[in-house]
Chain A
Amino acid sequence: QKEVEQNSGPLSVPEGAIASLNCTYSDRGSQSFFWYRQYSGKSPELIMFIYSNGDKEDGRFTAQLNKASQYVSLLIRDSQPSDSATYLCAVTHHFGNEKLTFGTGTRLTIIP
């Protein structure tokens, strides 16, 4: 069983709609959770991190964490064509551990 699982997609969402990306993890002790965006041929770019259960909002992005169910999600409101990218979920197993375990990513396409 993979430690961090994501649906590889592609996920197609109309422009202006909400894109919902999901990630599950197997280690119940995981502490820190991250979302990276990666455009084709480019490096991963950190867009959100969350440590506590609940929601964290930053502009059009909302990260949601549910430790009891072991999932973390990313919502993108008012999706734009520039949001088309692969989104990587990553977790650390202990706070301050620093080593990230990545999922394989979900490819998101925003349809104009």
Chain B
Amino acid sequence: NAGVTQTPKFQVLKTGQSMTLQCAQDMNHNSMYWYRQDPGMGLRLIYYSASEGTTDKGEVPNGYNVSRLNKREFSLRLESAAPSQTSVYFCASGSRGTDTQYFGPGTRLTVL
């Protein structure tokens, strides 16, 4: 039982490049989330998915797209990376009955 897994752990991009961050959970949760964490800003919600087939914008969605591939997997795509997207990205999955969320190990992304 791995919980929430994320790949890659680290990534360096040049401005304008694209990439997809992958997330998978094996806890049979309906809800999944993408956050970014920046110093002094705390965790901010980028996108979330309340169930398979649905996605909604969070607090900071600009520059990102998401895909809820199936119940287990939720990916985050940067189409044209910018230095402002340098951050640590966390995926989480949630239990609707209790509102609790469990986080993956994170991806540290640097955009040059």
Spell out A's residues near B (CB within 8 Å): 31-32, 34, 36, 42-46, 49, 88, 90, 92, 95-100, 102-105
Contact = CB atoms under 8 A, between A and B. Distances in A.
Contacts of B48: 98-99
Contacts, number: 54
B14 interface: no
A108 to B, nearest CB: 16
B12 to A, nearest CB: 17
B61 interface: no
A105 B94 contact: no
Given A34-B100, A98-B48, 4 more contacts: A32-B99, A43-B106, A98-B50, A100-B43
B21 to A, nearest CB: 14
Contact of A102 (B43, B50, B96): B43
| Chain B contact patch, size range | 20 to 34
Contacts of A45: 103
Nearest to B42: A104
A57 B43 CA distance: 26
Nearest to A102: B43
Contacts of B101: 34, 46, 98, 100
B103 A102 contact: no
A99 B98 contact: no
30 contacts: A32-B98, A34-B100, A34-B101, A36-B103, A43-B90, A43-B103, A43-B104, A43-B105, A44-B43, A46-B100, A46-B102, A49-B98, A49-B99, A88-B42, A95-B99, A96-B96, A96-B99, A98-B31, A98-B48, A98-B50, A98-B96, A98-B99, A99-B48, A99-B58, A100-B43, A100-B45, A100-B101, A103-B42, A104-B40, A104-B41
